Amino acid sequence: MDIRDSGEQLKKVLEAKTEAGRNLDRFNLSGRDLSELDLSEISAEGANFNSARLNGSDLFAAKLTGASFRGANLTGADLSQIDAMGADFTEANLTGASLRDAFLAGANFTRARLEKTDLKNAVLEDAEFERADLDHANLTGIEILGHELDEALNLPLSWLGNLLHPILKARRQKRRESRKS
């Protein structure tokens, strides 16, 4: 579905706490200015937010499975507790955004800007971060099994430690077991 009404009318619909204003599944919102909006708990599965401006918007606990945010500006947005499995954030700007407790399994962050982004306790299983900028990102408690980090830029040491810890722990356990035999 493609929303073609005026910007102000669109904002009123999106901020409405009605069923119609909360369901944006498969909507085309590409290039729209959705800055500073309260979009918490919306359902926008498969929606197109490519090149949209969502800086400062509240998307707390939104359902964004399969949504596309290619080239979108999400600077300072609250994306805490979102379900964005398989979402595409290629070349998106998430500087200073909060993705705490977000479910991002299979999400694509290729060439995304994630400086100072809060990813605390996020699930990043099978997520892609090719050439992403994670400078000063909070990666405390992340789940990262199966993720792709090819050529990630400005990779914080804490990320590397979180990545290697389970691998090294498993190797130590194997060595202990082999010594017992």
Q: Give me the CATH number covering residue 15.
A: 2.160.20
Q: What is the DSSP secondary-structure string of 40-64?
A: TT-B-TT-B-TT-B-TT-B-TT-B-
Q: Kindly report the number of other CB atoms within 10 A of residue 78's CB atom.
A: 22
What is the rounded CA–CA span in Å between residue 71 and residue 17?
Answer: 28
Q: Which residues fall within 8 angstroms of residue 41, CB to CB, at 6 or more apart?
A: 22, 60, 61, 62
Number of domains in the chain: 1
| Mean pLDDT taken over the chain | 82
Distance from chain centroid for Cα 91: 12
- Give the mean pLDDT of 60-89: 98
pLDDT 10s digits, 114-168: 999 999 999 988 888 888 898 888 888 887 765 444 445 455 544 555 555 555 5
Q: How far is CA 108 from CA 20, 86, 132, 180, in A?
A: 29, 7, 10, 43
pLDDT at 19 over 70: no
Q: Residue 76 has which token pair?
A: 């300072």
Q: Which residues share a beta bridge with 103? A: 83, 123
Ranges of H-type helices in the chain: 7-15, 19-22, 157-180
Residue 93, judged by CB atoms within 10 A of its CB (0-12, 13-18, 19+), counts as buried
Expressed as residue numbers, the domain containing 115 is 1-181
Distance from chain centroid for Cα 42: 15
Q: pLDDT at position 150, please? A: 40
pLDDT at 110 over 60: yes
